Amino acid sequence: MKTLKHWTLTQSDKHHVELTVDGEHRLCLYVLEHGMFRVLVKRRGELALNRTWSIAPQNDVPWEGRERESVAGFSLPGFTLEETPERLVIATDKLRVTVHQPLWLEWHYRDEAGDWQFLTADRRTSAYLLNAHGDGVAHYQHRQKTDRFYGLGEKAGPLERTGKRYEMRNLDAMGYNAASTDPLYKHIPFTITRRDDVSFGLFYDNLSSCWLDLGNEIDNYHQPYRRWQAEAGDIDYYLFVGPRVLDVTKTFVRLTGKTFFGPKWSLGYSGSTMHYTDAPDAQNQLMNFIRLCEEHAIPCDSFQLSSGYTSINNKRYVFNWNYDKVPQPKAMSGAFHEAGLKLAANIKPCLLQDHPRYHEVANKGLFIRDSESDAPERSSFWDDEGSHLDFTNPAAIAWWQEGVTTQLLEMGIDSTWNDNNEYEVWDGEARCHGFGSPIAIKHIRPVMPLLMMRASMEAQQRFAPEKRPYLISRSGCAGMQRYVQTWSGDNRTNWDTLRYNIRMGVGMSLSGLYNVGHDVGGFSGDKPDAELFVRWVQNGVMHPRFTIHSWNDDQTVNEPWMYPAATPAIRAAIELRYRLLPYLYTLLWQAHADDEPMLRPTFLDHEHDPQTFAECDEFMLGRDLLVASVVEPGQRERKLWLPDNAAGWYDFYTGAWYSGGQWVTLNAPLETLPLLVRAGAGLPLSSRLHHVDAQRDDQRALTLFPLKGAGEASGQLFEDDGESWGYKEGNALWVNWRMKCSADEIHLTLSATGDYRPAWRELHVTLPPGETRRLVINGEETDAWAL
């Protein structure tokens, strides 16, 4: 690659500065927010890809993508500009960049005292590189000894990424090792750099396969560095200052688009297995699931149909019902609906070469095209070869939406499960329609699943415009949170997967994917033993997505009742999930409205406590609930570090109080998931439900965990009908509470806004066992508040 070296100032305007580099390239430096700048390099003055689908600071992007040089949606605060022969200084009141000669950038931030402090810098030797005779690009930054790296979305191994090398190349990583396999399913080249005094985010808006080295590589000719290198495309990155990790994560979500607010039932238990739909009597197997849930008193809200319902022999054919297996799809979906369960159906964006409609789709030109002919590209897919639909072609989008509507929605299917959408098309020059401007697949591979899920969402919205849609997607890129819930793909059954899936989920959450979960029990491998299964379910119920899903190598099926002796523990864990649904639903609302992560590493709210940065198996669900999952066989006690806070922590079950900043050992019998609650919190709880039903959900409690001494705390409960768009017009309920504690009394002030009135009419307030202070609600000594 060729190093970019010498620059001259070409022009500037109110929002950006442009430099000419080595007489032929352009470096554009945009000032987007007080604490966010953007650096874009145009090779020979042109862009390899003039659009983006990830950047959405206000509204969603057009189907054909957002103009890459657009600054719409940013505040554009203006900047100061100072020039000398050797450097250029561009600054807002929060962030400053110095462009040095030869080319390298140095960044400073303004601290609380108003002084400029060093933030980061490019490597002084060879910071920006372009392949002179190809497409590759690279960017090197200097690496500080104190840098700690997080982010990168869905990655195996430790949550802290420091000293590792990673690749972004979407793969169908069936049976991956959760501690080491790389790459995986998603493409999110976003890092958070954390130091004791500041944090900053760095996002490369490049959709080609890329590598990120965060300290694994060492070169004697350069000082310590970090590297991002891409197969193709442009150097185009956004740098934004924290100061905290939480601030960086929230800024990244605001940059790439808000979390979609799905229906409440999407937070319930969702059953799934390859076994049922692969069976010759699939419809009977599926109908039996309803009966078994009732027989074993397992709450459930939905079932996900694996792709076996589309099979011909042993292969899968999207939008093809196997009527031998499922003779009456509408009757089957009707039975699920009568039981209060929704159905999601698996769909895949590749048509095998013997698909009944392959030639029809090929003749319409709806596939990605081979690079050396006008024929459809052919790639390996599901034990055969097939061709991938081109979602940059409006005609392909229309064909897909017609299939979603007629083959799924009109059959009574409620949701789409967008799967196997990694687009492993390794002919990098294969041509995509590009909405009229052809694009090589190497530039936009992760965009294809993004557009696939968007096409599915629009079909669902048109079919049921009064309801908020729910979708799932396995693959994607930054911005997929605008449309779907996701999960960590086809994991393998073992204790290590349980442990490292926790880190994968939190890593996705730090990277803007808040609505996540895992295949509980493990997807591939032999079935979990009873102890592992119980612990996996206990962990799974504390994630936004809770699904038991399997394709076990030993031909077994993971079901809540698979071990009769363990079924009571499984039932108790799922019932706990349903009791916590008001809390989970409020978290989903806050994720959408306030960009708050649902899953949180313990350090996210306790950065002052250095011990919280140590690798651990616990995590926060929201700001209030500390989940200490058991991830080792035979463990009946759980040792964990309580983050240092002024208020302390309560045992969720016993009400025992612990001060923060200490190690504690909790009892962890097989039937119990250790949980602690932050003192000062209030958890909204429901009574036991069979499934989400706004009309039957007629009891609500607020369990307070008061401050031990004097002080104040506050919180919120969100309620609506669980599925409509009414909240946009105020047809929802926001209950705000404030708790003021003294030595003798706990004063709770409650107020409500919004037009919605739920089935419950009183909010019952409870206190931990042993709490003797007088409870006063809105000035009256009572334990309930009438809505």
pLDDT band for 85, please (50, 70, 90 cuts).
confident
What pLDDT shows up at residue 633? 98
pTM of the model: 0.98
Give me the long-range contacts of 66-70 (CB less than 8 A, separation at least 24). 68/40, 68/205, 68/234, 68/236, 69/28, 69/40
pLDDT over 90 (residue 292): yes
Residue 705 CA to residue 780 CA, distance in Å, equals 19
Give me the long-range contacts of 224-228 (CB less than 8 A, separation at least 24). 224/142, 224/143, 224/144, 224/145, 225/123, 225/140, 225/141, 225/142, 225/143, 226/140, 226/141, 226/142, 226/143, 226/147, 226/149, 227/138, 227/139, 227/140, 228/138, 228/139, 228/189, 228/204
pLDDT band for 235, please (50, 70, 90 cuts).
very high
Task: Work out the end-to-end distance of the chain between its first and last CA atoms, rounded to an integer number of angstroms.
Answer: 67
pLDDT band for 520, please (50, 70, 90 cuts).
very high
Model confidence over 590-619: pLDDT tens digits? 999 999 999 999 999 999 999 999 999 999
- Name beta bridge partners: 358: none
Average the pLDDT over 355-372 and give the result. 97
Beta strands in 439-523 (DSSP E): 439-440, 471-473, 476-477, 486-487, 516-520
Assigned CATH class of 2-57+74-256: mainly beta
What pLDDT shows up at residue 134? 79
pLDDT over 90 (residue 689): no
Residue 394's contacts (CB-CB under 8 Å, 6 or more residues apart) are 63, 435
Average the pLDDT over 165-169 and give the result. 98
- CATH number 2.60.40.1180 is the correct assignment for the domain at 694-786: yes
pLDDT over 90 (residue 622): yes
Tell me, which fold does domain 599-672 have in CATH? Immunoglobulin-like (2.60.40)
pLDDT band for 133, please (50, 70, 90 cuts).
confident
Q: What is the DSSP string of 41-90?
A: EEBTTB-S--EESS--SSSPPPTT-EETT--TTS-----EEEE-SSEEEE
What separation in angstroms does the CA of 509 have from each of 173, 181, 604?
20, 19, 11
Model confidence over 251-273: pLDDT tens digits? 999 999 999 999 999 999 999 99
Model confidence over 749-780: pLDDT tens digits? 999 999 999 999 999 999 999 999 999 999 99
Average the pLDDT over 95-119 and give the result. 97
Instruction: Please report, as a single letter, which amino acid is at residue 634.
Output: G
pLDDT over 80 (residue 688): no
What pLDDT shows up at residue 484? 98
pLDDT over 80 (residue 183): yes
Residue 396's contacts (CB-CB under 8 Å, 6 or more residues apart) are 366, 367, 389, 390, 433
The SS3 assignment for 516 reads strand
Residue 492 CA to residue 177 CA, distance in Å, equals 7
How many other CB atoms are there within 10 angstroms of residue 769's CB atom?
10
Average the pLDDT over 51-56 and give the result. 98
Nearest to 492 by CA among 521, 458, 530: 521
Where are the domain boundaries for CATH 2.60.40.1760 in the chain?
2-57+74-256
pLDDT band for 495, please (50, 70, 90 cuts).
very high
The SS3 assignment for 327 reads coil
What separation in angstroms does the CA of 598 have from each of 197, 201, 484, 606?
25, 19, 15, 16
pLDDT over 80 (residue 380): yes
pLDDT band for 208, please (50, 70, 90 cuts).
very high
Residue 650's contacts (CB-CB under 8 Å, 6 or more residues apart) are 656, 657, 658, 676, 677, 678, 679, 705, 768
The pair phi, psi for residue 223, each rounded to 5°, is -70, 165
* Average pLDDT value for the chain: 97
What pLDDT shows up at residue 406? 98
Where are the domain boundaries for CATH 2.60.40.1180 in the chain?
599-672, 694-786
pLDDT band for 158, please (50, 70, 90 cuts).
very high
Q: For the chain, what percent of residues have pLDDT higher than 70?
A: 100
What pLDDT shows up at residue 132? 79
Edge to edge, the sheet with strand 379-381 lists 350-352, 384-388, 379-381
pLDDT band for 651, please (50, 70, 90 cuts).
very high
pLDDT band for 476, please (50, 70, 90 cuts).
very high
Residues 504 and 497 sit within 8 Å (Cβ to Cβ): no
The pair phi, psi for residue 605, each rounded to 5°, is -110, 5
pLDDT over 90 (residue 308): yes
Dihedral sign (CA 360, 365, 370, 372): positive
What pLDDT shows up at residue 383? 87
Residue 762 CA to residue 739 CA, distance in Å, equals 18
